[in-house]
Amino acid sequence: MPEITLNCQKLPCPQPVLRCKALLDTEAPARCTVTVDNAPASENVARFLTSRGYDTSVHADPEGLWNIIAVRKDSAVAPSCDCEVMDARGIAAIAGTAEMPQKVTVFITSETLGSGDDVLGGKLMTNFLATLPELGDELWRIVCVNGGVRLATREHPAVTHLNKLEAMGVDILVCGTCLDHFGLLSEKAVGQTTNMLDVVTSLQLATKVIRP
């Protein structure tokens, strides 16, 4: 089968990842090249293809495009996203006979907690993140979107707590479109640059969602 080239320029998040998913689901190519026109999309596409059992390499060109070259491994691993869906279905199937394990997602949309005073709200958010380890193994993911992505940047006081949580095994997902909007792509210091498909999946598969 000839190599497939997928042009995903000018597509908003999460369309590049969704188009890659459709390609893999219908044709499962041994090799493909995906072209995007922004750094968050290149990270998201490369991470998705890797999760579906492909070796990936990202090449930026002088025209502001990124080409993600993906080659399927000889022994492809099961796609991580599909496995999570299977896990969720399995949990639902046995819910009547066994205790359902908790998967808590914390969905953060602002760098402050509450309204009324942003200085106080910033302190409260930092304290909130510092207290999250008390959830223990139930804490699965922290998803940062909109102004919440500032928490994951290099100079923010909260980044120390997010680094600690990531070291504990908590997934930290930071919206790439949001980072790009605020000009903070180069300032991200913790977590994975993510897309809206990951955000929706994180909310769908969680047994509980906390919105501070």
Please list, in sequence order, all residues whose beta carbon lies within 8 angstroms of the beta carbon of residue 22, skipping any fewer than 6 positions away: none
- Is a pLDDT exceeding 70 seen at residue 135? yes
Q: Report pLDDT for 84.
A: 41
Q: Report pLDDT for 99.
A: 57
User: In the predicted model, what is the mean pLDDT of residues 101-126?
Assistant: 94
User: In the predicted model, what is the mean pLDDT of residues 9-32?
Assistant: 91
- CA–CA gap between residue 13 and residue 5 (Å, rounded): 19
Report the predicted TM-score, pTM, of the whole model to 2 decimal places. Answer: 0.74
User: Edge-to-edge, what's the strand order for the sheet holding 66-72?
Assistant: 4-7, 31-36, 66-72, 54-60
**Long-range pairs of 124-128 with CB within 8 A, sequence gap ≥ 24:** 125/151, 125/158, 125/212, 126/157, 126/158, 126/161, 128/212
- Is a pLDDT exceeding 50 seen at residue 89? no
- Cross-strand partners of 194: 175
User: In the predicted model, what is the mean pLDDT of residues 46-53?
Assistant: 91
> How high does pLDDT run on average in the chain?
87
Which residue is associated with the tokens 């909260």? 158
Confidence of residue 78 (pLDDT cuts 50, 70, 90): very low
User: In the predicted model, what is the mean pLDDT of residues 58-80?
Assistant: 78
- CA–CA gap between residue 21 and residue 129 (Å, rounded): 33
- CA–CA gap between residue 140 and residue 125 (Å, rounded): 19
- CA–CA gap between residue 87 and residue 94 (Å, rounded): 11
What percent of the chain lies above the pLDDT cut of 70? 86
